[in-house]
Amino acid sequence: MPEVPRTGVIHDLGYRPYDGPRNGSGAIAWALFLSGFRNAFGLGRSGKSKVLPFLLLGLNLLPAVIVVGAMTLFGLDELPIDYSRYASSTQILLSIFVAAQAPVLFSRDLRHGTISLYLARPLSSAAYAVARWAALLAATLVFLLVPIIALYVGAVLSELDFWEQTEGAAKAILLAVLLALGLTGIGGLIASVSVRRGFAVVATIAVLLLGNGVVTAVQGIAEVQGEPRIGEVAGLFSPYSLYRGGMAALTDNVALTPPTGAAMTAAYFGVMVLVAAVGFVGILVRYRRIAGR
Amino acid sequence: MNSTIVRLSTQALLGRRRGLVLALIPAVVIALAVVIRVLTEPGTGYEIVDAIGFTLALPLVALLASSAVLGPEIDDGSIVYLIAKPVPRRSVVLSKYVVAWLATLTLGALPLLVAGLVLDSSEPTQALAWALGGAVAGTTYTALFLALAALTRHAVVIGLLFVLLWEGLLGGLLSGIRWLAIGAWGQEIAASVSDAVKAPGTGLLYAVLAATVLTVGSVWFAGDRLRSFTLRGDE
Amino acid sequence: MATISLDAVSRWYGNVVAVNGITMSVGPGVTGLLGPNGAGKSTLIALMAGFLSPSAGTVTLDGATIWRNTEIYRTVGLVPEREISFGYLTGQQFVLANAELHGLPDPGAACQRALEVVEMVEPAARRIGTYSKGMRQRVKLASALVHDPSVLLLDEPFNGVDPRQRLHLMALLQRFGAEGRTVLFSSHILEEVEQVARQIEVVVSGRHAASGDFGEIRRLMTDRPVQYVVVSDDDRTLASALISEPSVVAVGLRPRGGVDVSVTDLGEFAHRLPRVARDARVRLVELTPTDESLESVFSYLVGR
C-alpha cells in the first residue's frame, strides 16, 4: 500500500482573537491598585479577612467619635485632642494594621507563586510594585485620615473657629501623609522580602514598635540628662519619632526632644521623605529582581 | 520528648533569616542598654528593661519562636511527615515546645538580666528579678502562642493583638486586666524578688498558679489539636 | 496480612458530602483508586491514613481503628500529595529523621536502603530545596518506605513526574504488590492505573462506583454493547453476514480494513462467529475487543 502523506490541518472553529480596543497598562495598574486597596480591608475576600482591618479601623475611630460626642454634649470650646496628636496616640493600632495587611498585598502572591501570573501580563514588575505600594499607601491613609476628618467635621459643626481648625487639620494631614509614606515603604519592603506571612508581621512590628520604643527611651533619658541634642538625633531613627518631631515643629504640641533650629527641622522632614523613598525604591528593586529570575 | 523532633525544630528555628531576626531583637535591647550606660551614670534609664525588654521584646521573641516551630509546617501541611509516625503526638508538641521555650529563655529572658546588669551592676537583684519574671512570663507566652499556632493560621496576628492591645493598651487603662495578663503575672514574680519592681497586685500565689495553669493547659491543648490533625484535601 | 477496611464510611463538611457511604476492603497487592478530580480520592486516603475522622462509619486496619491511633504508623507508610517543605534539610537528613522517628534500631542503614530503592543515593547529600519535582517525589517515597511498611498509601504519586521516573515508580509499585504488601494509589489518569493495578476501586462523586478487576467490571456492564474489531479477507461479505445475527446490533466498515461489530450477547457471538465465517467462506485474521479498556469502563461509570 502506498505511504499516505502525513498532513496536519488547523480547523477554523470561528475563534477570533479580540482585536478591539484595549486599555493600556495604565488601566491595568489602576485595576490592580483598586483591587489591592479593597483587599487591604478584606473587601473582595472572605468574611474572616474583614474582621481584623475593620476591628482596627473601628478601634482607631472610637476615640474620635467619643471626642466629637463629648464636644457636642458638653459644648467644649476646644478639641480635647489635637489633630496631629491623634496618630501618635493610636500608633499601636496603626502598626498592627500595616504589619498585618502589608503581607496580604505583598507576601501572598509571592508565597503562592501567583506573581508569575501577574507578570505574564503586559504589566511590568515596576507597575505591579507601584500599584501594590499605592494600594497599601491608600489604605494606610484611610486609616490615618478618617479620624482627622471626623474630628474636623465635629469641630466645625460645633462652631469652633473655622480657620484655626482648618489649619490644624491641614497640618495633621500633611504629617499623616508623610508618616503613611514611611510606613508603607517599611511594611511593604519587609513583606515582599519575607514571604512567610507570620514572620513578616512580627518583623514589621519589631521594626516599628521596638524601634520606636528604643528611640523614645533614648529621647527620654536625653531630656532628663539635659542633652536634648542627642534625643533630637535619635528621633531620626523611627517613623513615629520623626512624626512627633515634625508635629512639634509645625504645631504647638509638645514632644520629647523636638527638633530645634531650622537645620534639624529640615533634617526631620528630609529623613521622612528619605525613608519613604528608600522603602519605595527597595520594593521596586525587589520586584525587578523577582521578575528577572 | 523526642530528640529527632527537637533537632528538626531547632534547625527550623535557627534557619537563616528567622534566626537573624530572632537574635536581633535581644541584641537591640542589650545594645540600647550599653549605649545608655556609656553615655550616662549607672542606674539611669533602668525603665527600658521593663518597657522595652520585658513588655515588648520578650513577647515578640516568644511569638517568633513558637510560630517558627509549629506554624509553617501546619500551614502547608508538611507536618504530616513528622506525625505519620508511631510517636505520640503530645510528645511531638512537647519537643517543639521545649525548643521554643529554650529560645525564649535565652533570647528573651536572659537579655533582661544582661541589660539590667549593664545598666546598673550594683543592683543585681533587680536585674535577676526581671530575668526571673521574664522567664516565667516567657514560659507562659511560648505555651500560649504554641497553642494558638496549633489552632489557627492567624496565630501570629492574634498573639500580637493579645500582647499589644489586651495587655498593652487595655492593660494600661483597666487595672482589672492584670488578672488575665501574662505580663502582669511575670511582673508580680519579679516584684517578689526585688522591691525595686512595682507589683501589679495580684499576689504571688495567683501569679504562679495562673502561669502554671495556662502553660500546662496550652501545651496539653496543642497536643490534643495535633492528635486530631486533619489533612485538608483538594476539596 | 494487612487489610484496610472501610465500613459504610461517610465524611461531610457542612453541606458538602465528600465521601458517601463507602464500604470497601483494600488487601494485599496493588489497588488503584480511580476517580475524577474532586471525587473524594484524597479524602479517602486521608481517612485511611488517620488524618481525617469519618463522620459516619468506621475505618480500620486489621480491626484496629485508625483515627487517633499512632501505632498504625508502624505498618503504614504514607506518601501524601503535599510537597515537602523541609527545604533546609538534605534528602539524607530528611529520610534519616523519618527513620529515627519510627524508632528503627538502625536508622542509618534503613535510610540507606530506602534511598537505594528509589535511586536517590547520589543526590541525597544536597538540600531538598534544590531538588526537582521528581526527586522530591522519590524522597517522599523513600521516607515512607524506610520502616518497611506492609501498607503503602500513595496520593497521586505520578503527578508531575517525568516519563522515565514514572516507569521506575510503576515498576516499584508492582514489585511491592508482588511482595505481598498492600499498596493503594490514587490517580485520575487511566493509563497509569491500567498499567500498574489490576484491582481498581472507582470513586465518583464520593460514591463507590465499582470495584474489582476492570475486565470483570466491563463484563458486568451488560446494558452496553461490547465493541470488537474483526479483520478478515472479505470484510463486506462478513459484515453482511454478521448483521443478520441476533447478538449483533451494529456493524461498520473501517476505512483501512476490518469490521467494527457491536455485540450485546458476548457468549452467543463467540459461539456464532466462527460458524458465520465458515458459512460465508471468509477467513478470519484477527479479533480484538476495542473497549475492554479502563477508559470505557470509566467513562461508562462516570456517565451513569
Write the Ramachandran bin of A42: left for phi over 0, alpha for psi from -120 to 50, otherwise beta. left
Lookup: cell for B216: 500546662
Residue ranges of B 146-205 with Cβ closer than 8 A to chain A:
154-157, 160-161, 164-165, 168-169
> C238-265: buried (b, 16+ CB within 10 Å) or exposed (e) per residue?
bbebbeebebbeebeeeeeebbebbbbb
How close C15 comes to chain B (CA, Å)?
13
- Cα end-to-end span (Å), chain C: 35
pLDDT above 90 covers a percentage of chain C that reads 28
Q: What is the fold of C221-303?
A: Alpha-Beta Plaits (3.30.70)
- Cβ atoms A188, A105 nearer than 8 A: yes
Beta-strand pair C151-154/C182-187: parallel
Please give the backbone phi and psi of residue C22, each rounded to the nearest 5 degrees, phi first: -95, 130
B228 close contact with C: CB closer than 8 A: yes
Q: Is B208 on the interface with A (CB under 8 A)?
A: no
Contact A96 B72 (CB under 8 A): no
For an interface test with B, the pick among C61, C69, C70 (most B C-beta atoms closer than 10 Å) comes out as C70
On whether any CB of chain B is under 8 Å from the CB of A276, the answer is no
For chain C, list the contacting chains (3+ Cβ pairs, <8 Å).
B
**Cell reading at A130:** 507601584
Chain mean position to CA A29: 18
Contact A221 B40 (CB under 8 A): yes
The residue-averaged pLDDT of B12-28 equals 86
**What pLDDT is stored for residue A38 in this prediction?**
93
Q: What is the pLDDT of residue B235?
A: 34
* Phi, psi values for residue A140, rounded to 5°: -65, -40
pLDDT at A251: 84
**Lowest-confidence segment of A241-245, A248-252, B75-79 by average pLDDT:** B75-79
Q: Which residue has the higher pLDDT, C281 or C298?
A: C281
Q: Largest alpha-carbon pair distance within chain A?
A: 107
Tell me the shortest Cα–Cα distance from C116 to chain B, in angstroms. Answer: 20
Per-residue pLDDT band for A116 (boundaries 50, 70, 90) equals confident
Tell which wins on pLDDT, A94 or A18.
A94
Which residues 98-127 of B are in CB contact (within 8 Å) with A? none
Mean pLDDT of A111-116: 84
* From B80, B82, B227, residue closest to C82, measured CB to CB: B80
pLDDT value, residue C223 = 64
Mutate to test the interface with B, among C82, C143, C155 (most CBs of B within 10 A): C82
pLDDT digit string, tens, across residues C18-40: 898 999 999 899 999 988 777 78
Q: Which residues of C63-92 are buried (b: 16+ CB within 10 A; e: fewer)?
A: eeebbeebebbebbbbbbbbebbbebbbbb
Q: Say if residue B173's pLDDT is above 60.
A: yes
CB distance B4 to C93 below 8 Å: no
pLDDT tens, residue by residue, B178-191: 889 999 999 999 99
Alpha-carbon span B189 to B176, nearest angstrom: 18
What sign does the dihedral A98-A100-A103-A106 (CA atoms) show? negative
Q: Has residue C185 got a pLDDT over 90? A: yes
Judged by CB atoms closer than 8 Å, whether chains meet at C37 and B234 is answered as: yes
For residue B182, the model assigns a pLDDT of: 92
- Yes or no, beta carbons of B231 and C80 under 8 Å apart: yes
Q: Does C277 touch chain B (CB under 8 A)?
A: no
User: DSSP letter at B109?
Assistant: I
Contacts of B115 (CB under 8 A, 6+ apart): B29, B30, B32, B33, B48, B49, B53, B127
For residues C180 and C195, what is the distance between their CA atoms, to the nearest angstrom?
18
| pLDDT surpasses 50 at C111 | yes
pLDDT surpasses 60 at B144: yes
CA pair distance B52, A209, nearest whole angstrom:
9
Q: Which cell numbers hold the place of B235?
A: 476539596
Cα–Cα distances in angstroms (integers) from residue C103 to residues A208, B3, B5, B193, C134, in the given order: 46, 11, 12, 45, 28
CB atoms within 10 A of CB B16: 7
Mean pLDDT of C246-254: 89
Q: Does B227 touch chain C (CB under 8 A)?
A: yes
Rounded to a whole number of angstroms, the distance from the CA of B139 to the nearest CA of chain C is: 26
What's the mean per-residue pLDDT of chain C? 86
Beta strands in chain B (DSSP E): none
Residue A1 pLDDT greater than 70, yes or no: no
DSSP strand pairing (C151-154 vs C76-79): parallel
Nearest to B78 among C73, C78, C85 (CB): C85
- The grid cell for B102 is 529554650
Inter-chain contact A206–B25, Cβ cutoff 8 Å? yes
Q: How confident is the model at residue C221 (pLDDT cuts 50, 70, 90)?
A: low
Give chain B's mean pLDDT. Answer: 89
Does C164 contact B at CB distance below 8 Å?
no
pLDDT at B234 over 50: no
Report angle CA A31, A32, A37 to the nearest 5 degrees.
100
Say whether C103 and B76 touch across the interface (CB within 8 A).
no
C238, amino acid identity: L
Angle, in degrees to the nearest 10, between helices C91-101 and B3-13: 150
CATH superfamily of C4-219: P-loop containing nucleotide triphosphate hydrolases (3.40.50.300)
Q: Hey, what's the cell of B68?
A: 517558627
Kindly give the pairing relationship between strand C284-289 and strand C226-232: antiparallel
The model's confidence at residue A293, banded by pLDDT at 50, 70 and 90, is low
| Range with the largest mean pLDDT of A34-43, B190-199, C189-198 | A34-43
Burial class (CB in 10 A: 0-12, 13-18, 19+), A237: middle
- Give chain A as a 3 state SS string: CCCCCCCCCCCCCCCCCCCCCCCCHHHHHHHHHHHHHHHHCCCCCCCHHHHHHHHHHHHHHHHHHHHHHHHHHHCCCCCCCCHHHHHHHCHHHHHHHHHHHHHHHCHHHHHHCCHHHHHCCCCCHHHHHHHHHHHHHHHHHHHHHHHHHHHHHHHHHCCCCHHHHHHHHHHHHHHHHHHHHHHHHHHHHHHHHCCCHHHHHHHHHHHHHHHHHHHHHHHHHHHHHCCHHHHHHHHHHCHHHHHHHHHHHHCCCCCCCCCCHHHHHHHHHHHHHHHHHHHHHHHHHHHHHHHHC
Give the model's pLDDT for residue A140. Answer: 95
Q: Does A233 touch chain B (CB under 8 A)?
A: no
Per-residue model confidence as pLDDT tens digits over A119-137? 887 888 888 999 999 999 9
Residue A260: CB atoms within 10 Å: 13
Residue among B76, B81, B231 whose CB faces C46 most closely: B231
How many CB atoms lie under 10 A from the CB of residue C132? 13
Q: Which residue of A has its CA nearest to B149?
A: A198
Model confidence pLDDT, tens digit, residues C276-295: 999 989 899 988 887 666 66
Asked if B12 is an interface residue toward chain C (Cβ–Cβ < 8 A), one would say: yes
Task: Give the chain A residue nearest B18 (alpha carbons).
Answer: A199
* Closest in C82, C88, C101 to B85, CB measured: C101
- Chain B positions in Cβ-Cβ contact with residue C51 (cut-off 8 Å): 80, 84, 229-231
CB B42 within 8 A of CB C138: no
Q: Has residue C218 got a pLDDT over 70?
A: no
Determine contact, residues C16/C169, Cβ cutoff 8 Å. no
Q: Which amino acid is at B11?
A: Q
Between the alpha carbon of residue A55 and those of residues A49, A144, A244, B151, C226, the distances in Å are 11, 15, 25, 21, 65
Q: Percentage of chain B with pLDDT > 70?
A: 98
From chain B, pick out residues whose CB is under 8 angstroms from the CB of C73.
84-86
Q: Tell me the nearest-neighbour CA distance from C82 into chain B, angstroms.
A: 7
Mean pLDDT of A242-264: 85
C49-71 pLDDT, tens digit each: 999 999 999 999 998 999 988 88
Task: Examine the pLDDT at C220 and tell me if it is beyond 70.
Answer: no
Give the pLDDT confidence score for residue C89 in this predicted structure. 86
The better pLDDT of the pair C107, A112 is held by C107
Kindly write down the DSSP assignment for every residue of B91-108, as one continuous string: HHHHHHHHHHHHHHIIII
pLDDT the model gives residue B223: 92
CA distance B161 to chain C (A): 29
Residue C181 has pLDDT above 70, yes or no: yes
Is pLDDT at C103 greater than 50 in this prediction? yes
Tell me which residue of B161, B27, B9 sits closest to B74, measured CA to CA.
Answer: B9
Query: Cβ–Cβ of C53/B230 closer than 8 Å?
Result: yes
Residues of chain B contacting residue A93, judged by C-beta atoms under 8 Å apart: 165
- Encoded amino acid at B174, one letter: L
Higher pLDDT: B72 or B32? It is B32
Q: What is the pLDDT of residues B199-231, one digit of tens each?
A: 888 889 999 999 999 999 999 999 999 888 887
Q: Is the pLDDT of residue A9 over 80?
A: no
Q: Which residues in chain C are classed under CATH 3.30.70.100?
A: 221-303
Beta bridge partners of C10: C56
**Dihedral over Cα of C122, C127, C133, C136: its sign:** positive
Region label for A14, one of left (φ > 0), alpha (ψ between -120 and 50) or beta (otherwise):
left
Interchain pair B56, A230: CB under 8 A: no
| Most distant CA atoms of chain B, gap in Å | 65
| DSSP sequence for B146-169 | HHHHHH-TTHHHHHHIIIIIIIII
Q: Report the pLDDT averaged over residues A213-241.
A: 87
Q: Which residues of A touch B168 (CB under 8 A)?
A: 92
Cell of A190: 519587609
